[in-house]
Amino acid sequence: MPLSVVILAAGQGKRMNSDLPKVLQLLAGKPLLQHVIDTARQLDPADLYVVYGHGGAQVQSAFTHERLQWVLQAEQLGTGHAVMQAMNLIPDDHTVLVLYGDVPLVSAACLGELIHNADSGALALLTVKLPDATGYGRILRRADGAVTGIVEQKDATPEQASIREANSGLLAVRAAMLREWLLGLKADNAAREYYLTDVVTAAASSQVPIRPIAVAHPFEVLGVNDRLQLARAESAYRSERAEELMIAGATLADPTRIDVRGEVTVERDVFIDVGAVFIGRVHLGSRVKVGPYCVIRDARLGSDTEVKANCVIEDAVVGDNCRIGPFARLRPGTVLRADVHVGNFVEVKNSVVGPGSKVNHLSYVGDATVGAHVNVGAGTITCNYDGVNKSATVIEDGAFIGSGTMLVAPVRIGAGATIGAGSTITQPAADGQLTLARARQITVADWRRPTKKP
């Protein structure tokens, strides 16, 4: 049966005390609403409707990259009213799945079970058992266990408020039935709102099967209304990603001190130390070691590579058996072939460094092609920018660059060439030869250091 997904994202989020709409608050580096959209996409919906209200222009502009149907809820008259705004666009023969833009951690597997039950003609509800369900609607059941309705916290009697089984708000049902029940909603409650939860009572009255599905992990239905709840969601997300990495073959020095803000894949026997942050798409080959407090974004690291403490790697490809850091930075466009060493306080940008080459200390390599088995001495800089244009440096196989060398691009260093320490090279250096470019050293007699005037 075709699926339409409705995401409710109209809330203002006053408790966030923020200029950002609530659904744009960041969780693991991306907006809450983006998490919900990404999960919904896994279900292959025919259409995805986002009901917006407060901060609508901000919300829409943040998702221009997504194919979405935007539905305005001009007045905030409750969740039932919000869903009603989208129903005018949804065909009767669709199944409707209702999600919330501030409930970001629900799994596609859990939602798939809801949809399966709804396709069979039932009203499927996602429920959760909590030690303290304060703030949630409670699931009402008959003595035989059948669900008869949901009562909101504001309207619950003391006895009902003691119920631990709570409503997550997420549900799935056929569009024709949902439309009929929504048209019958009344705002006769403490909040004077049209509650989506009242369709449960309507379903029971219509003899439609109600299938409550208990979520496996309560954090999946954790709503985010303030920054405390946002922090709890971040912690839950971090824990889930850490478990996935460990199951896949990584050892984490401390699973509570790792941040995964994207998609990280690992091969066997990877080790990740504390404080590592992974952003975007990252792949770690077998036996990779990531030292403490590294930041790795959109990168691929080959097997047996070690990244020592406090390195930053972004948009880079690193070959097998490389050694990086500590305190090294690989900027976008960097490619390190196998067995490369990039040492402390070295920055590499938009460059290819050939196999077996070393750039070990206090150097900058930018817009360069470095051959195999090259040694770049401490304090070497490829001077690639003249204030307007970038130019390339080529260092051929086997070259040796002495410490403190300035390579003024565009320039070529020949195969097997040696550059004397302290040189400024502006012309091509011949293959296999020693090239020097130093000013003559002199001593100035009777020179005195300047002193402060009295």
Residue 371 to residue 80: CA distance in whole angstroms: 65
Identify whether 361 is a catalytic site residue: yes
Query: Can you count the helices (H) and strands (E) in the chain?
Result: 8, 38
Backbone dihedral region for residue 383 (phi beyond 0: left; psi -120 to 50: alpha; all else: beta): beta
Q: Length of the chain, please? A: 454
Q: How far is CA 172 from CA 113, 124, 200, 378, 422, in A?
A: 10, 5, 11, 63, 72
Helix orientation angle between 79-87 and 175-183, rounded to the nearest 10 degrees = 130
Amino acid letter, 49: Y
CA 176 to mean position of chain CA atoms: 37
Residue 201 to residue 186: CA distance in whole angstroms: 12
Do strands 26-27 and 30-31 pair parallel, antiparallel, or not at all (unpaired)? antiparallel
Of 379, 385, 384, the residue nearest 368 (C-alpha) = 384
Q: Which residues pair with 313 in a beta bridge?
A: 296, 330
- 54, 283, 361, 373: the catalytic one is 361
Reduced to 3 states (helix: H, G, I; strand: E, B; else coil), residue 154 is: helix
Phi, psi of 361 (to 5 degrees): -145, 125
Active site members: 361
